[in-house]
Chains A and B, each alone.
Chain A
Amino acid sequence: MSRASQRLLKVLAANLSPEERESVCGDLREMRYGLLGSLREITGLLIRQEIQTWLRWQSWLGIIGIVAFLLIPARKLGQLAVMAPMQYIGVYLKYEVLYQSGLSFELEAIQWLCQIVALGLFSWSAGMAFRRIVPTGPRLRLLALWAIGIGLITFQIHRHGAPFWVSIVPILIFSAPLFLPMLWGASNRLSLSRTGSIALLAASAGAVALLTWTSGWWQASIVEMNGGFRPALIPWYARSWPWLLAALPAAYISLTDFRRERGTA
């Protein structure tokens, strides 16, 4: 087998768990499979594993109940976190003045930092949950998450009718680092105990509830811009319960049916 063929096999086999990779590659060697045979066998195994994963209802519940649940605010926060500095830069380059949003610069900066922190929390949690639920190989998983992240941002911006080459490409480039937490969470560099994962997911679900149903710091901005006047709102706890209910499937999965960690080398 040539070096290139061995390299190709190695890349493909990297999507198997370490133990499985060890035993499968050893079996292929012992049975004297050639390159094509080995590629066919490993590809077949990966496809079967994927099918097995997606035939389980728990996988769908996990993706909808945890990953999508966390990515909804992450998408919005990603857009806000990128757009805010770009707005400042754009206005400054065009008019050579600082952009005035109606808030003080300090409040804008605090707001931006909060968005970055929340984005990091949500996207890392989504990546970590994705890794725990879907035992796809590390490279396929990172590729899938990258595609989801880029897709979400593209969709968000395209929906507002921005011209592709003018707006979307630079934003995709600038927003790439914002998805690093998600990719980090999806990689096996850091693993949490089950208790830690549950605590993190609960914190994320709570933060989602607070941010989306009480408007979080956006509400504070409105109050600031309205000279301290706070519009009448339904209490946050009254509006949070549907989100808490929505978090129950996630909690259920966390407590009962997280797949065994497969690990990667």
Chain B
Amino acid sequence: MLGEFEYLLLAAIERVGDGAYGVSVLQELQNITGRTYSLGALYTTLNRLESKSLITTWMGEATPQRGGRAKRMVQLTAAGVRAASEFHDAVTRASRGVRWTKRAVGQHS
């Protein structure tokens, strides 16, 4: 089972699609959640997902705006799509019939 951040990262990679790399994935992640994440969190999780064979990475082209440095391109594997799908299904099932309305803590309707 994936962790929450792992799932968010897989979702961000999928949303960016072709040409996903460090910066684009990080920006998409921040757009989705409205939170800021460090590069450390991103790369550590990318390494973990790659070691689980859920994503595949390779070095892409270098651009002048990156000071001639290459990008680390990211793509979901079939196992990654399956794991994300299972996580999504589990969250959907768990959320069925649950209403997260704002109410005072301890107040039951």
A31-B25 Cα distance, complex, nearest whole Å:
12
Contact B23 A27 (CB under 8 A): yes
Contact A25 B67 (CB under 8 A): yes
B interface: dominant SS: helix
Is B38 part of the contact surface with A, judged by Cβ < 8 Å?
yes
Is A49 part of the contact surface with B, judged by Cβ < 8 Å?
yes
A55-B22 Cα distance, complex, nearest whole Å:
25
Closest to B27 in A: A31
Which residue, B22, B48, B71, has most C-beta atoms of chain A within 10 A? B22
Is B102 part of the contact surface with A, judged by Cβ < 8 Å?
no
A22-B21 Cα distance, complex, nearest whole Å:
13
Is B39 part of the contact surface with A, judged by Cβ < 8 Å?
yes
A19-B70 Cα distance, complex, nearest whole Å:
8
For B70, the chain A residues whose CB sits under 8 A away are 22-23, 26
Measured CB to CB, the closest approach of chain B to A258, in angstroms, equals: 13
For B71, the chain A residues whose CB sits under 8 A away are 23, 26
Measured CB to CB, the closest approach of chain B to A263, in angstroms, equals: 13
A28-B51 Cα distance, complex, nearest whole Å:
24
Which residues of A from 39 to 67 have beta carbons under 8 Å from B? 40-42, 44-49, 52
Which residues of A from 133 to 154 have beta carbons under 8 Å from B? none
Contact B72 A45 (CB under 8 A): no
Contact B48 A52 (CB under 8 A): yes
Is B43 part of the contact surface with A, judged by Cβ < 8 Å?
yes
A128-B12 Cα distance, complex, nearest whole Å:
38
Is A35 part of the contact surface with B, judged by Cβ < 8 Å?
no
Interface residue total, chain A, C-beta cutoff 8 A: 23
Q: A25-B69, A31-B23, A52-B44 are in contact. Are A41 and B39 (CB under 8 A)?
A: yes
Q: A19-B72, A23-B59, A24-B22 are in contact. Are A29 and B43 (CB under 8 A)?
A: no
For A28, the chain B residues whose CB sits under 8 A away are 39
Contact B62 A26 (CB under 8 A): yes
Is A30 part of the contact surface with B, judged by Cβ < 8 Å?
yes
Q: A44-B38, A45-B39, A45-B40 are in contact. Are A23 and B72 (CB under 8 A)?
A: yes
Measured CB to CB, the closest approach of chain B to A46, in angstroms, equals: 8
Q: Given A41-B38, A260-B51, 18 more contacts at CB 8 Å?
A: A19-B72, A23-B43, A23-B69, A24-B22, A25-B69, A26-B69, A27-B22, A27-B39, A29-B65, A30-B66, A31-B23, A40-B38, A44-B39, A44-B41, A45-B43, A46-B40, A48-B44, A49-B47
- The 21 sampled A-B contact pairs (Cβ below 8 Å) are A22-B72, A23-B22, A24-B22, A24-B43, A26-B66, A26-B70, A27-B23, A28-B39, A29-B65, A29-B66, A29-B69, A30-B63, A42-B40, A44-B39, A45-B39, A45-B40, A46-B40, A47-B40, A48-B41, A48-B44, A52-B44
